[in-house]
Amino acid sequence: MARPARTRRQQREAAAPASGAAERARERRRRVKPVGETKAQTGQKRERRGGGRQFVHESYGELRKVEWPNQRQLFSATVVVIIAVTVVGLFLWVADEAISRLVRDVLLR
């Protein structure tokens, strides 16, 4: 046995056959999010954040977990970066010279 409708609108809707427009309107009312209820894009309710002070506290905690390099590791990493920058800079200089000569001698003559 069906449960009786609680409101007059529910009683009218139960008694009258549903037309397409009325059914779509009811569906739209069900989908509308009530004002004041904020949700994330995933559909979960947003929780209040702690603000700037909470961010600084959590950042400090994360930085304490970092394994910082010792002096030897820092020196070797610096040498690797300097060598890599030198090689890339040399390559770009050679490519620039070759392309500029190509443009000057072939295309502009």
Mind listing the pLDDT tens digit for each residue in 40-80? 666 666 666 678 888 999 999 999 999 999 999 999 999 99
Hey, what are 76's tokens? 């070797």
Phi-psi group of 65: left, alpha or beta (phi > 0 → left; psi -120 to 50 → alpha; rest → beta): alpha
Residues 102, 94: Cα–Cα separation, whole Å: 12
* Structural domain total, the chain: 1
Residue 79 forms part of a structural domain: yes
Residue 66 forms part of a structural domain: no
Residue 59 forms part of a structural domain: no
Residues 73, 65: Cα–Cα separation, whole Å: 18
Residue 13 forms part of a structural domain: no
Per-residue model confidence (pLDDT) at position 4: 61
Domain extent at residue 86: 71-109
What pTM was estimated for this model as a whole?
0.44
